[in-house]
Amino acid sequence: MNISERTVKYHLQNIYRKLETHNRTHAIAKAIELGWYKE
């Protein structure tokens, strides 16, 4: 993909805000809790 690091950080911050989390680990845990991720 040809996107800037700033763009990635911006979108990650929006995801964290919507999931009410502050980092990737908590965002993944929340997604699993909500049933959005299945192994």
3-state secondary structure of 38: coil
Q: Which residue has the tokens 């845990």?
A: 29
Residue 1 confidence class, pLDDT cut points 50, 70, 90: confident
Q: Which residue has the tokens 């040809």?
A: 2
The number of angstroms, rounded, from the C-alpha of 21 to the middle of its chain's C-alpha atoms is 8
Every domain of the chain and the residues it spans: 1-39
pLDDT of residue 3: 94
pLDDT tens digits, one per residue of 10-34: 999 999 999 999 999 999 999 999 9
3-state secondary structure of 17: helix
pTM of the model: 0.73
With b for 16 or more beta-carbon neighbours within 10 A and e for fewer, the 11-33 pattern comes to: eeeeebeebebeeeeebeebeee
